[in-house]
Amino acid sequence: MRITSIVGARPQFVKLAPVARALAGLCDHRIIHTGQHYDSVMSDVFFVELDIPRPDHHCGVGSASHGAQTGRMLESLERLLQDDRPDAVIVYGDTNSTLAAALAATKLHVPVVHLEAGLRSFDRSMPEEINRVMTDHTADLCLAPTLGAMANLATEGLGARSLLVGDVMTDILFEVRDALDAATTPAAPFGGAPFTLATLHRPANTDSPERLREIVRGLSGQDRPTLLLAHPRLVAKAAEAGVRLDVGNITVREPVGYRDLVRLVLSSSGVVTDSGGLQKEAFLLRRPCVTVRSDTEWTETVDLGWNALVGERPSDIPSALSSLSAPDTQETPYGDGRAAQRTAEAVLEFVA
């Protein structure tokens, strides 16, 4: 049995790691990398650190507008899938690579499994929302991370082809956290003083100079230092708009690999982000998080008191972070760390 995983962007490499491990030895598992992310800090470091097998094919599409990027992927993936003829493809998350892979496969009558199905922000201005809705409706099997995602799929008439497996990012997060060796943990930045860890990359936040300026002002308004791990989109857009990022007590660094990210979250006092994955990772590592968006797909983090949304008023970043109640909780809305195992079983059973 041949199963092909198609990935291309940073969060997908993280999701692929535990799934590739769970599928190893059970089928002929191949990997196609679209090339959406190509810098070593955005791609290679994840394959090396998380021990993901080298991709069997690399489409090398690179950056472009949405239409051009997705179109290039479609053309390249169609050719590769025609040659490889897998029994099913697995597509991950909500990026342009996810949508292109789902479309390319389904048009060739190759069954599509969507992992991390059913998440909704209900904000149709987000490219990811369009990608995930289209992919869920294209997929033959929707594997959902949460009960909320299952409910969304049922509401859209997709209940019969949906299955709850849990969140595979939780699997890998717990694994990496548990393997962190105190001896190799680098000294905390800022000499061990309390700090905020921040990331920012959503077009809605980076592509308007006014909005970006407001967020930077909010970040620098905190009374403790901020370490801003700057995604290439943020760096490019800030330079274009003449917005300085390293103002006040903000220190700017390149993005880091997954292990260093987990270490930094653990040594931080709190997180400010617009990333879906990082909101959830902050919760799972029990660090309060402020999300610079008006909505979230990971609503459990907000309901449980660990995440606050400040999309409407980024100037509220400091007050929101300091007033989060972050109560003790035993809730496990994202599963028990065995989602990849269930994913592998579900995929194999589906294909068989």
Tracing tokens 């869920």 back to the chain, one arrives at 136
Q: Does 36 bind ligand UD1 (CB under 6 A)?
A: yes
CB of 9 to ligand UD1, least distance (A): 4
Among 42, 151, 285, 304, binds ligand UD1 (CB under 6 A): 42
Q: Smallest distance from the beta carbon of 236 to ligand UD1, in angstroms?
A: 5
Which of 29, 31, 86, 128 is close enough to bind ligand UD1 by CB under 6 A? 128
- Interface positions, 53-72, toward ligand UD1 (CB under 6 A): 63
CA distance 40 to 141: 32
- For residue 224, give the nearest of 199, 189, 253 by alpha carbon: 189
| Beta carbons within 10 angstroms of residue 351's beta carbon | 16
CA 238, 227, 283, 42 torsion: positive or negative? positive
199: contact with ligand UD1 by CB under 6 A: no
Provide the angle, in degrees to the nearest 10, between the axes of the packed helices 258-267 and 168-179: 70
Quote the least distance from Cβ 233 to ligand UD1, whole Å.
Answer: 4
C-alpha to C-alpha distance for 144 and 150, rounded to whole angstroms: 6
336 binds ligand UD1 (CB under 6 A): no
Q: How far is the CB of 127 from ligand UD1 (least distance, A)?
A: 4
Given 37, 57, 201, 231, which residue is catalytic?
201
Q: 201 catalytic, yes or no?
A: yes
| Of 305, 273, 313, 276, the residue nearest 291 (C-alpha) | 273
Residue 304 binds ligand UD1 (CB under 6 A)? no
Q: Please pick, from the candidates 4, 5, 34, 96, the single residue that binds ligand UD1 as defined by CB under 6 A.
A: 96
Q: Which of 21, 33, 37, 120 binds ligand UD1 (CB under 6 A)?
A: 37
Q: Rule CB under 6 A: is residue 135 a binding residue for ligand UD1?
A: no
What the block records as the tokens of 78 is 């169609």
Nearest residue to 225 (alpha-carbon basis) of 244, 250, 246, 247? 250
Distance CA 113, CA 318 (A): 41
Residues that bind ligand UD1 (CB under 6 A): 9-11, 36-39, 42, 63, 94-96, 127-128, 201, 231-233, 236
- Active-site residue set: 201
